[in-house]
Amino acid sequence: MKPPRFAYHDPTTRSEALALLDTYEDEAKLLAGGQSLVPLLNMRLAQPAHLVDINRLPDLADIREEDGYLAIGALTRHRDIERSPLVRRCSPLLAQAVLFVGHAPIRSRGTMGGSLAHADPAAELPTVLQALGGHVCVESRAGSRNIPAEAFFTGPLQTSLTSKELLVEARFPIAPPRTGTAFIEVSRRHGDFALVGLAAQLSLRENGTISAAHLALMGVAETPIRVQQAEAMLLDQHPAEELFNAVAQQVCSDLDPADDLHASAEYRRRVAGVLIGRALQTAAVQTSEVRYA
């Protein structure tokens, strides 16, 4: 199929792009990597009157460490994230997760901002942002604002971005010392959207107790969900298989996933429990001073 007719805009400055969004509002769609938007256009599930191509905007494709965060520009390709030593050092969880995004050709075109703005509830990068309590930076002609992950994802393929705003950057808190991470997902084939997935990060104190825990599930709700009750159960405890199993059981009892053509609710609930146990053990053994109780 071919996309419907649209007016194509190719701004070269951020102010020009923001002016176009301000002018056309709901009639416009942003084009970055195009890995989600172009199929929607071809299937005519999206029919914008105006397409604003932001690929020539400067200063939106950088990766840097700043104020305790790993800051990643919206136009940064997944492949650049995958290959970045800075990402591996500052956010090993993100470095692991990006390897699950589609296949190499998709990662070569897909962007950080596009993945977050598309807000698929089974997507990897939104799940990591949610797990770590990161935030996005957005701009409009009216000004800029920071939106925490918990307020950014509002539903399947829905965010709190307005039609006049441009997502310019995502910020992930830098992992502290003695931190272990694990990203695990189950899909029919590698590169497919996950049926269930989990992002986990554990940090330990010098005495071996857990000082911080970050857990988020994907594919089990309308958005990636941070499992804060499980995180609270882990705090101040020594890593132990018995503890991890108890956390998994608690999370499973609270989950209420939906049935669909790909998997039943009961399957998703069971798989989530297995992944939690595995991910927590993997994260624990990665920390430099872990000792099982």
pLDDT digits (tens, 9 = 90+) for 222-263: 999 999 999 999 999 999 999 999 999 999 988 999 898 889
- Whether residue 118 contacts residue 149, with contact meaning beta carbons closer than 8 Å, is answered with no
- Whether residue 154 contacts residue 223, with contact meaning beta carbons closer than 8 Å, is answered with yes
Domain of residue 76, residue span: 63-173
Interacting residues of 53 by C-beta distance below 8 A, sequence separation 6+: 8, 9, 10, 11, 31
Q: What is the mean pLDDT of residues 25-45?
A: 91
If asked whether residues 227 and 166 sit together in one domain, one would say: no
In a domain, 86, yes or no: yes
If asked whether residues 193 and 99 sit together in one domain, one would say: no
Give me the amino acid identity at 82. Answer: E
The 10s digit of each residue's pLDDT in 161-201 is 999 999 999 999 999 999 999 999 999 888 788 999 999 99
Domain harbouring 23, CATH code? 3.30.43.10
Last residue within a domain, chosen from 173, 189, 221: 173
Interacting residues of 15 by C-beta distance below 8 A, sequence separation 6+: none
Last residue within a domain, chosen from 173, 188, 206: 173
Distances (CA, A) of 159 to 150, 187, 235: 10, 24, 30
Domain harbouring 97, CATH code? 3.30.465.10
If asked whether residues 48 and 119 sit together in one domain, one would say: no
How sure is the predictor about 288, in pLDDT bands with cuts at 50, 70 and 90?
low
The 10s digit of each residue's pLDDT in 50-83 is 999 999 998 999 999 999 999 999 999 999 999 9
If asked whether residues 169 and 183 sit together in one domain, one would say: no
Q: Which residue has the tokens 């800051």?
A: 71
If asked whether residues 163 and 202 sit together in one domain, one would say: no
In a domain, 162, yes or no: yes
In a domain, 158, yes or no: yes
- Whether residue 152 contacts residue 136, with contact meaning beta carbons closer than 8 Å, is answered with yes
Q: What is the DSSP letter of 216?
A: E
The 10s digit of each residue's pLDDT in 97-122 is 999 999 899 999 999 999 999 999 99
- Whether residue 82 contacts residue 99, with contact meaning beta carbons closer than 8 Å, is answered with yes
- Whether residue 31 contacts residue 113, with contact meaning beta carbons closer than 8 Å, is answered with no
In a domain, 291, yes or no: no
In a domain, 2, yes or no: no
Domain harbouring 281, CATH code? 3.30.390.50
The tokens of 33 are what?
């990597």
